[in-house]
Amino acid sequence: MNAKTQTILWVAQRASAAVLALCVVVHLATMIYAVRGGLTAAEVLARTQGNPWWFGFYTVFVLAVSLHAPIGLRAIFLEWLRWRGASRDIAAAAFGLLLLWMGMRAVLGVFR
């Protein structure tokens, strides 16, 4: 992998981290509020169904984590497993796509 691609991955990792820092704070606050008195499907859906703001928020959240997690795992693969080459990139990209697919499925599930 060339230096330019490395730089792009580094920037993507930091930029997604900054987005995620905001998303995680909102997510934690929502969770603390939501779990009080027990978590029910009706409560969650009442908050999210048909709400474009939550839909936008969770879409951004999923996009950011689908970039952030595979880039981080890819670095750990190299550091801890000495895993190099194209197979490492493909595994990381596949995991990112899995998160994107499952994450957007979840967002749609609670929105529609």
Partner 1 sequence: MSAAVGKWAALVHRVSGILLSLFLPLHFYTLGSALHGPAAFEAQLAWTQQPLVKLGEWGIVLLLAAHLGGGLRVLALEFLPWRDWQKGLAAAAAAGAVAIGLAFALAL
Q: Which residues bind to partner 1, rule: CB under 8 A?
A: 14, 17-18, 20-21, 24-25, 28, 31-32, 35-36, 38-42, 44-45, 65, 69, 72-73, 76, 79-80, 95, 98-99, 102-103, 105-110, 112
C-beta atoms surrounding 92 within 10 Å = 21
Provide the token pair at 90: 């493909």
**Is 33 or 53 the residue whose CB approaches partner 1 more closely?**
33
Tell me how far, at minimum, the Cβ of 76 lies from partner 1, in Å.
6
- The closest of 99, 97, 26 to 62, measured between CA atoms, is 99
Alpha carbons 5 and 56: distance in angstroms, whole number: 29
Tell me how far, at minimum, the Cβ of 103 lies from partner 1, in Å.
5
Provide the token pair at 12: 């993507």
